[in-house]
Chain A
Amino acid sequence: MRAEVTEAAETTAVEVVDLASTPLRELNQRLHDLAGGADGPRRWRILNPNGAHAVACGIDAEIEIEIQGHVGYYCAGMNKLATVRVHGNAGPGLAENITSGTVMVDGNASQSAGATGRGGLLVVHGDAAARCGISMKGVDIVVRGSVGHLSGFIAQTGRLVVCGDAGEALGDSIYEARIYVRGAVSELGADCVEKELRDEHRAELADLLLQAGIDDLDPSDFRRYGSARRLYNFHVDNAY
């Protein structure tokens, strides 16, 4: 129930940082200083991000952060442990290489959301652009809307759930990641094929949707995609 954490903690003190008057460097340094369980505020609210890049990146602490507004590139990049919620849209590379924790965006995310993520959960309540989940390595990504082309490109492990449609070359050169799409898929990428949706997959889908705070969709309406494994060991007859 990671999506509910921020509401549950509403009663404790919140450290408010206004980026209109506080340098980003100062904010990130204060967040980094909480690594290793160091004393300090556990709940943060960031005002006026105004599209700034690298907001709340590199955190290594079990804290909660609410960002009120739009963020630029690499928000919550390499996140560890923290729960970060963006009440707005996010630029490219949202939560890139996330290793744990949760990152949620109320609006849309630009390209390469969750790129190379190794763990944790990324939830985009709007649409995600191209290359969502590119080269993902264990992260779980749930997109309430649609994703752009080359999403799940070279995806290694983890799960990508798309409640809307998927653009061209979905799952191109995919390894062992699992992709679930509820809407239409424009085109599957190299070595990506549709696979049977079994009960175990419905169960993990239901869990992922629950974690993302999505309770109005039936896991049985999704289709599952994964690797045909024809490119795992090169053979000229399988080359594209």
Chain B
Amino acid sequence: MATMDTHDPWSLRESYLYDRRVIAEIQRAAREGIYDIRGFGAKRRLPHFDDLLLLGASISRYPLEGYRERCDTDVTLGTRFAKKPLELKIPVTIAGMSFGALSAPAKEALGRGASEVGTSTTTGDGGMTPEEREHSKMLVYQVLPSRYGMNPDDLRKADAIEIVVGQGAKPGGGGMLLGHKISDRVAEMRSLPRGIDQRSASRHPDWTGPDDLEIKIGELREITDWEKPVFVKIGATRTYYDVQLAVKAGADAIVLDGMQGGTAATQDVFIEHVGIPTLPAVRIASDALQELGMHRQVQLIVSGGIRTGADVAKALALGADAVSIGTAALIAMGDNSPELEEEYAKIGSAAGFYDDWQAGRDPAGISTQDDELAARFDPLLGGRRIANYLRVLTLEAQTLARACGKSHVHNLEPEDLVALTVEAAAMARVPLAGTSWIPGVDNQG
């Protein structure tokens, strides 16, 4: 039995199996009788784009001059069927986040920032607010299982439609907005009583399976006179089949959200234990599209842990046409800012750790419906920060692409990558650095 020797801290041995976090969670569960619900995304260590490196050009390839020679970044989404595809200047979009989860000024800022750099933003589970429509030059309208706030007028006002089947933080799970964020305005938009815990459906109410999905997409196209691109968003799980079925169902683009994708409110057990990481998901999706001969015909938009231009470049190299950011966008706008250290301490958290986005007490005024807190957030400044951040992501991705000799970021390819770990090599299907070995692929002959 270990006894405390105050002179020797090594005399105490923490269990690997029951470490302090596990013990604290068991005690919390026993005390509260409800699973832990939180925001943010997966916090566990997962194979990710950090486990890949790009091969800059040298003798066998020649590079392009940094910031001088052209490296284009434009991307068009919805070229398959839509009369009016979405033409983005950069390959980074803002992911779906609801008014309800986020405050109205935060949604406005996302629209302002995205519009400034020529990209799109996306509604969420709760419908379209006039503020985000006004400030988003290109707005993607989500059709979710709950259909909260869904109406044909907004559908017709949108620039693209995104049928949400799942999200990376909780594939197979529905939305969640706890009572303290159901303000009068949110309640009215969602046709719900004020202050209740709102749990959105996990299945669509009027279609089930790929054959129905095809008919549903057909209906949405008819309603909008075949003008708007129709995306299908999936959480990464059985990605190969889901991508191929979405293509078969007639999607213009696939939005693929890996398990690191953020959420405003989900059970911790769901966030950490369901789905596959973004790294293997993007490669599987890209391969599925290639097999169908639909790569670049049906665009692939990847999200879930995109933080830097390196992540952008690597996702594109693995076959994505564009990426989306959610968590990183909130951080860019001021979430988890050290300037709010004292405020976080008051609610039992700390800058850099705050994940109670479900609680509605966000001192940054972003993940809240409290008017006083939301008023702290300046949508002009927030928009500026989003624009700055999107520019940096793009510049970084261009820098890496030029180093690899690419005149368009879409010219990056798996051949430009190597992996640092065996796991990443297997998942991304690129060689382990310094070898020609791709685990699981017979490339030795």
A-side interface residues toward B, CB under 8 Å? 24-25, 28-29, 32, 53-54, 57-58, 60, 72-74, 77-78, 80, 92-93, 96-97, 99, 112, 115-116, 118, 131, 134-135, 137-138, 153-154, 156-157, 175-176, 232-234, 236-237
Q: Say whether, besides A97-B152, A156-B192, A58 and B222 are in contact (CB < 8 Å).
A: yes
Pull 16 A–B residue pairs with CB atoms less than 8 Å apart, ordered by A: A25-B226, A28-B225, A54-B215, A57-B223, A77-B219, A80-B152, A93-B207, A96-B205, A96-B206, A97-B151, A112-B205, A131-B205, A134-B205, A135-B201, A156-B191, A176-B193
Determine if B225 and A32 form an interchain contact, defined as CB atoms under 8 angstroms apart.
yes
Determine if B196 and A233 form an interchain contact, defined as CB atoms under 8 angstroms apart.
yes
Determine if B196 and A92 form an interchain contact, defined as CB atoms under 8 angstroms apart.
no
Determine if A233 and B197 form an interchain contact, defined as CB atoms under 8 angstroms apart.
yes
A sample of 7 more A-B contacts (CB under 8 A), given A99-B151, A175-B192, A234-B34, is: A58-B222, A78-B155, A78-B223, A92-B206, A112-B206, A118-B191, A232-B197
Bound CA–CA A54/B212 (angstroms): 12
Partner of A54, one of B153, B207, B219: B219
Bound CA–CA A236/B151 (angstroms): 34
Bound CA–CA A96/B152 (angstroms): 11
Q: Give chain B residues whose Cβ lies under 8 Å from the Cβ of A236.
A: 33-34
Specify the chain B residue showing the minimal Cβ separation from A93.
B206
Give the secondary structure class of A's interface: loop
Q: Give chain B residues whose Cβ lies under 8 Å from the Cβ of A32.
A: 225
Determine if B151 and A74 form an interchain contact, defined as CB atoms under 8 angstroms apart.
no
CB distance from B425 to the nearest CB of A (A): 43
Determine if B206 and A29 form an interchain contact, defined as CB atoms under 8 angstroms apart.
no
CB distance from B188 to the nearest CB of A (A): 11
CB distance from A76 to the nearest CB of B (A): 11
Bound CA–CA A206/B254 (angstroms): 48
Determine if A74 and B152 form an interchain contact, defined as CB atoms under 8 angstroms apart.
no
Q: Give chain A residues whose Cβ lies under 8 Å from the Cβ of B219.
A: 53-54, 57, 73-74, 77, 93
Bound CA–CA A232/B206 (angstroms): 24
At the interface, yes or no: B337 with Cβ under 8 Å from chain A? no
Q: Give chain A residues whose Cβ lies under 8 Å from the Cβ of B33.
A: 236-237
Bound CA–CA A118/B206 (angstroms): 15
Chain A CB within 10 A, most for which of B147, B190, B192 = B147
Determine if B215 and A115 form an interchain contact, defined as CB atoms under 8 angstroms apart.
no
Scan residues 205-256 of chain B and give those whose CB is less than 8 A from a CB of chain A: 205-207, 212, 215-216, 218-219, 222-226
Chain A CB within 10 A, most for which of B193, B222, B225 = B222
Specify the chain B residue showing the minimal Cβ separation from A74.
B219
Determine if B196 and A54 form an interchain contact, defined as CB atoms under 8 angstroms apart.
no
Bound CA–CA A116/B205 (angstroms): 8
Q: Give chain A residues whose Cβ lies under 8 Å from the Cβ of B212.
A: 73, 92
At the interface, yes or no: B411 with Cβ under 8 Å from chain A? no
Q: Give chain B residues whose Cβ lies under 8 Å from the Cβ of A153.
A: 205
Determine if B206 and A74 form an interchain contact, defined as CB atoms under 8 angstroms apart.
yes
Specify the chain B residue showing the minimal Cβ separation from A58.
B223
Partner of B206, one of A60, A80, A115: A115
Bound CA–CA A73/B190 (angstroms): 25
Bound CA–CA A236/B155 (angstroms): 38
CB distance from A212 to the nearest CB of B (A): 22
CB distance from A181 to the nearest CB of B (A): 20
At the interface, yes or no: B79 with Cβ under 8 Å from chain A? no
Determine if A137 and B223 form an interchain contact, defined as CB atoms under 8 angstroms apart.
no
CB distance from A191 to the nearest CB of B (A): 12
Q: Give chain A residues whose Cβ lies under 8 Å from the Cβ of B190.
A: 156
At the interface, yes or no: B172 with Cβ under 8 Å from chain A? no
Partner of B225, one of A29, A99, A131, A176: A29
Q: Give chain A residues whose Cβ lies under 8 Å from the Cβ of B197.
A: 232-234
At the interface, yes or no: B47 with Cβ under 8 Å from chain A? no
Determine if B205 and A54 form an interchain contact, defined as CB atoms under 8 angstroms apart.
no
**Nearest 5 Cβ contacts at the A-B interface:** A58-B223, A93-B206, A78-B152, A116-B147, A137-B191
Determine if B152 and A99 form an interchain contact, defined as CB atoms under 8 angstroms apart.
yes
Partner of A74, one of B153, B192, B216, B224: B216
Q: Give chain A residues whose Cβ lies under 8 Å from the Cβ of B426.
A: none
Q: Say whether, besides A93-B206, A115-B205, A175 and B152 are in contact (CB < 8 Å).
A: no
Determine if B191 and A157 form an interchain contact, defined as CB atoms under 8 angstroms apart.
yes
Determine if A53 and B152 form an interchain contact, defined as CB atoms under 8 angstroms apart.
no
Determine if A118 and B151 form an interchain contact, defined as CB atoms under 8 angstroms apart.
yes
Determine if A175 and B150 form an interchain contact, defined as CB atoms under 8 angstroms apart.
no
Q: Give chain A residues whose Cβ lies under 8 Å from the Cβ of B216.
A: 73-74, 93
Bound CA–CA A176/B187 (angstroms): 12
